[in-house]
């Protein structure tokens, strides 16, 4: 989900980024004037602090992708720190090309987002074969619920830019998606900034439906009681600022999303190939005494 950073690091893949599902362009648009009310409503969504581990493997490699196999692991941690959510995500993958070449990627993302949805600190590092390919660091602030904002980077360079009115940060966006799902909404669209790109916020279109079937899902270890929740199938399409309606999304993310914010499974679709992430271990983290 989009508490996370699912950008692919700068791996040299044969085919360029592309995606499908033009039906996602038919999203139900939320007017900026409604944003303040929507942000207030997210407060009744109770997210669960947790640490989740996912096994990852290739779902499909499309023609000319140059990819034969992908395998690895993702660890996601959401920590409640009273007035904010701290998110840590790490994805380590091994790729095999059709020419026999192998390479490894190691991507990490950390963020600290205030629970009022107005402040975000973030750090991103993407490594390929033990060499740092990309490193981002900075913060962003919104003037108020539904208001404009500004993002500032200290790495890889000093850069600042405005965020449009109605922009959301990732954990606020996650809570609102769950709220829409509980209300029976089928599609919504928001502007979301997570700090994982230097050129502004994404437009994120969400289509909400029934959860995917669990056939073939691996057994899960740990605090499995956290999984006894209402769930939905959510597919997110991520468009670079200004591209929505005129281009394919940069990538898509499909989730089996629970009402407490835990994802039982994910499908990361980059157009030329897609990767499955299946939950294998879940641990509840303590809530602080605030």
pTM of the model: 0.83
Q: Are 21 and 38 in contact (CB under 8 A)?
A: no
CA dist 220 and 145 (Å) reads 38
CB burial string 144-169: b at 16+ within 10 A, e below? ebbbebebebeeeeeeebebebbbbb
Alpha-helix residue ranges (DSSP H) falling in the chain:
35-41, 170-182
Structure tokens at 127: 């490594």
CA distances, 87 to each of 142, 240, 256, 263 (Å): 19, 23, 19, 14
Element at 47 (helix H, strand E): none
Cα gap 189→236, rounded to integer Å = 9
The answer to whether 39 touches 180, Cβ cutoff 8 Å, is no
Output the tens digit of pLDDT for each of the chain's 290 residues.
Answer: 434 444 444 443 322 222 222 222 222 223 333 444 444 444 589 999 999 999 999 999 988 889 999 999 999 999 999 999 999 999 999 999 999 999 999 999 999 999 999 999 999 999 999 999 999 999 999 999 899 999 999 999 999 999 999 999 999 999 999 999 999 999 999 999 999 888 889 999 999 999 887 645 668 999 999 999 999 999 999 998 766 555 788 889 999 999 999 999 999 998 899 999 999 999 999 999 98
User: Bridge partners of 232?
Assistant: 257
Encoding tokens for residue 40? Answer: 């207030």
């Amino acid at each position: 989900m989009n508490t996370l950073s699912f950008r692919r690091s700068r791996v040299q893949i044969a085919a360029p980024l592309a995606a499908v599902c033009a039906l996602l362009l038919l999203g139900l648009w939320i007017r900026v004037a409604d944003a303040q009310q929507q942000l207030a409503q997210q407060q009744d969504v109770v997210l669960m602090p947790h640490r989740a581990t996912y096994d990852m493997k290739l779902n499909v490699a499309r023609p000319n992708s140059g990819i034969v196999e992908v395998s690895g692991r993702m660890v996601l941690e959401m920590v409640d720190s009273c007035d904010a959510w701290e998110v840590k995500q790490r994805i380590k993958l091994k790729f095999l090309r059709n020419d026999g070449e192998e390479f490894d990627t190691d991507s990490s993302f950390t963020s600290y987002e205030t629970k009022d949805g107005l402040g975000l600190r973030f750090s991103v590092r993407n490594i390929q074969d033990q060499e740092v390919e990309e490193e981002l660091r900075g913060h962003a602030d919104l003037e108020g619920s539904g208001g404009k904002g500004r993002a500032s980077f200290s790495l890889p360079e000093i850069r600042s830019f405005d965020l449009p009115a109605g922009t959301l940060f990732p954990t606020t966006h996650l809570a609102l998606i769950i709220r829409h799902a509980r209300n029976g909404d089928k599609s919504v669209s928001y502007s979301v900034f997570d700090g994982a790109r230097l050129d502004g916020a994404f437009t994120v279109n969400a289509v909400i439906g029934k959860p995917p079937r669990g056939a073939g899902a691996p057994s899960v270890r740990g605090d499995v009681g956290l999984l006894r929740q209402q769930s939905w199938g959510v597919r997110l399409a991520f468009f670079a600022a200004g591209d929505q309606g005129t281009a394919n999304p940069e990538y898509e993310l499909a989730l089996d999303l629970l009402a407490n914010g835990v994802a039982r499974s994910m499908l990361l679709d980059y157009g030329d190939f897609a990767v499955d992430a299946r939950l294998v271990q879940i641990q509840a983290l303590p809530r602080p005494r605030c």
